[in-house]
Chain A
Amino acid sequence: KAGVTQTPRYLIKTRGQQVTLSCSPISGHRSVSWYQQTPGQGLQFLFEYFSETQRNKGNFPGRFSGRQFSNSRSEMNVSTLELGDSALYLCASSLSVARVGGYTFGSGTRLTVV
């Protein structure tokens, strides 16, 4: 079966712009989580969506937002980009109870803010 698909793979944006990243989970998976990976901060949890509702949220400013559609695909948006937002953004999908089946990650979107 198809894995977790993240698009685009690479993005270059200018400071102050906004960006939208997409994540298509494994078929049947209803939970989608987002993580930011940077050399300095490592992997940090952004938020998790389940059945179109945000179920959990990390400690990120309000410039970071997300949503989930009825087909479980998820998008995350970052507004007013800052240089520090440059990172690899990973999404992970899981069944309704994540610990049962574990998390499957996509290959990420590499965002560079200049």
Chain B
Amino acid sequence: AQTVTQSQPEMSVQEAETVTLSCTYDTSESDYYLFWYKQPPSRQMILVIRQEAYKQQNATENRFSVNFQKAAKSFSLKISDSQLGDAAMYFCARETSGSRLTFGEGTQLTVNP
């Protein structure tokens, strides 16, 4: 099965510090997209960042950046200058052909003031 694995069920970080969430995945495809989504208590899944597999350059969105290691099938999310509003469940996801997402188990991030 082509899976996505998040090995950290919970993480915590101090406000203003940096935290990295890990994700590994399995795929037999050469062209695919990877995503990080955030799900706060409001339940809505919010897109944090997206990475195209054929691009070597790591994606960056303001305080959020990824470390994409294609050969290792690793896709970690770095949150810099953490804010209280970053507290949420974070899901790593891979898009397969056919417009479907396969999600990891999620990492619950706590931000301590």
Residues of chain A having any CB pair with chain B under 8 Å: 31, 33, 35, 42-43, 45, 48, 50, 55-56, 58, 88, 90, 92, 94, 98-99, 102-108, 110
Which residues of B (59-92) have their CB < 8 Å from a CB of A?
Answer: 91
- A102 touching B35 by the CB < 8 A rule? yes
Given the complex, which residues of B lie within 8 Å of A48, measured CB to CB? 98-100
For B42, give the chain A residue with the smallest CB separation: A107
- B100 touching A90 by the CB < 8 A rule? no
Residues of chain B having any CB pair with chain A under 8 Å: 33, 35, 37, 42-47, 50, 52, 91, 95, 98-106
- A88 touching B99 by the CB < 8 A rule? no
Closest CB in chain B relative to A87 CB, distance in Å: 12
- B45 touching A56 by the CB < 8 A rule? no
Given contacts A43-B101, A55-B98, 15 further A-B contacts (CB under 8 A): A42-B103, A43-B91, A45-B101, A48-B98, A50-B99, A56-B100, A58-B100, A92-B101, A94-B99, A99-B99, A102-B35, A103-B47, A104-B47, A106-B44, A107-B44
Given the complex, which residues of A lie within 8 Å of B37, measured CB to CB? 105
- B98 touching A56 by the CB < 8 A rule? yes
Determine the distance from Cα of A88 to Cα of B89 in the docked complex, in whole angstroms: 15
Determine the distance from Cα of A102 to Cα of B47 in the docked complex, in whole angstroms: 8
**Mostly helix, strand, loop or mixed at chain B's interface?**
strand
- B95 touching A99 by the CB < 8 A rule? yes
Tell me which of B50, B98, B104 contacts A102 (CB under 8 A). Answer: B50
Given the complex, which residues of A lie within 8 Å of B52, measured CB to CB? 99
Given the complex, which residues of A lie within 8 Å of B42, measured CB to CB? 107
Closest CB in chain B relative to A83 CB, distance in Å: 21
Given the complex, which residues of A lie within 8 Å of B47, measured CB to CB? 102-104
For A90, give the chain B residue with the smallest CB separation: B45
Tell me which of A56, A90, A107, A110 contacts B99 (CB under 8 A). Answer: A56
- A107 touching B43 by the CB < 8 A rule? yes
Given the complex, which residues of A lie within 8 Å of B100, measured CB to CB? 33, 45, 48, 56, 58
